[in-house]
Amino acid sequence: MSVVSLRGVTKRYGDTTAVDDVSFDLHENRIHGLLGRNGAGKSTVMRMLTGQDLPTSGQIRVVGENPFENAGVLRQVCFIKEAQKYPDIFLARHALKSAEMIFPNWDAEFAEQLVDEFRLPLKTRTKKLSRGQLSAVGVIVGLASRAPVTLFDEPYLGLDAVARQLFYDHLLADYAEHPRTVVLSTHLIDEVADMIEHVVVIDRGRIVMNDSADNLRSQAVTVSGPTKAVERFAAGHTVLHREDVGGYARLLVSGIPEGRDTTSLQVEPVSLQQLVVRTAQLSDSVLAGAANGKGELS
């Protein structure tokens, strides 16, 4: 069942189009990855989902309703972002207490456990917390809120590798016991790749991928070997990336050619990060070609 739905959503700021005719669904009890580069439109989408921005056009529904100025919807949505701001007078414990008052599914015992594990100083003012400690406040709120729709917009970037792994472990364990719709927006794709069940990739405000992670991984391969043999294998398929060394080539091929001769070739699965990065680079190349007169930009 779809919990979040966008249909033909566009968001403009003056002459800048941040989100351009975007449509996709986020389904109940699933971990989604909202991926893309800085400025791609990810944070704008999340702000619209949480009623902080209105779309210029199109329709947004969260748990079946428009989220803008809708307290009933927003109590079911937890949005945690990088560099989350709190009032200067707040201690860390005040931030958690405020979350407890907002979210009806708040688990105080779980929050206390996370405070201990992330070593969060509850009596320190939030403005005095380090970047890592502020990130810990955010992920604790996001996990302990148990909101039906939980959005993480890279709040864990401030955490060191050990603390990030702690977050991932707790997210998976708690999600297994208390399923909900989770959205992870991140640049650290390899770190979260095994957690993500559905992938939405946005680039220059447009959706360039929208599919299950398993389907995406099954639709591309990396093939390497003698150049001519590699090219015969890839003929008729989109090449997302190419490397040439002497008489050998290595190609990332979209689509898996069937019935091709693989003698002398090495065919390997592609990682989610490779697929996302190379697809975005291909999109850039197409746009650059259009801008250079090889096509038209709409």
Q: So what's the pLDDT on residue 100?
A: 96
pLDDT band at 88 (very low <50, low <70, confident <90, very high): confident
- Long-range CB pairs of 155-163 (<8 Å, 24+ gap) are 155/80, 155/81, 155/82, 155/84, 156/186, 157/82, 157/186, 157/187, 157/188, 158/82, 158/130, 158/131, 158/132, 158/134, 159/132, 159/135, 160/132, 163/118, 163/132, 163/135, 163/136
Q: So what's the pLDDT on residue 42?
A: 92
Q: So what's the pLDDT on residue 283?
A: 63
CA-based Rg of the chain, rounded to a whole angstrom?
A: 22
Q: So what's the pLDDT on residue 255?
A: 79
The answer on pLDDT for 98 being more than 80 is yes
Read off the pLDDT of each residue in 263-286 and give the average, rounded to a whole number. 80
Domain-wise residue ranges, the chain: 2-215, 219-294
Q: So what's the pLDDT on residue 284?
A: 60
Q: Percentage of residues in the chain with pLDDT exceeding 70?
A: 94
The answer on pLDDT for 289 being more than 70 is no
CA-CA distances (angstroms) from residue 165 to 81, 118, 159, 185? 18, 11, 9, 16
Q: Give per-residue pLDDT as tens, 40-83.
A: 899 999 999 999 999 999 999 999 999 999 999 989 999 998 87
For residue 88, the SS3 value is coil
pLDDT band at 291 (very low <50, low <70, confident <90, very high): very low
Both tokens of 169, joined, read 């472990």
Q: So what's the pLDDT on residue 44?
A: 94
Phi, psi of 184 (to 5 degrees): -110, 120
The answer on pLDDT for 89 being more than 50 is yes
When the candidates are 2.30.29.30, 3.40.50.720, 3.40.50.300, 3.40.50.2300, the CATH number that belongs to 2-215 is 3.40.50.300
Residues 196, 72: Cα–Cα separation, whole Å: 28
Strands (E), 156-230: 181-185, 198-203, 206-212, 220-226
Q: So what's the pLDDT on residue 296?
A: 39
Judge whether 128 and 89 are in contact, CB under 8 Å: no
Read off the pLDDT of each residue in 25-39 and give the average, rounded to a whole number. 92
Nearest to 7 by CA among 89, 51, 79, 62: 62
The answer on pLDDT for 287 being more than 50 is no
Residues 70, 8: Cα–Cα separation, whole Å: 21
Of the listed ranges 13-17, 107-111, 153-157, 210-214, the least confidently predicted one is 153-157
Q: So what's the pLDDT on residue 297?
A: 33
pTM of the model: 0.85
- Compute the residue count for the chain: 298
Average pLDDT of the chain is 90
Q: So what's the pLDDT on residue 292?
A: 53
For residue 204, the SS3 value is coil
For residue 122, the SS3 value is coil
Strands (E), 28-160: 31-35, 57-62, 77-81, 149-153
Strands 248-254 and 266-269: unpaired
Q: Give per-residue pLDDT as tens, 218-274.
A: 888 999 999 999 999 999 888 989 999 999 999 999 877 788 888 889 999 888 888
Both tokens of 65, joined, read 């309703």
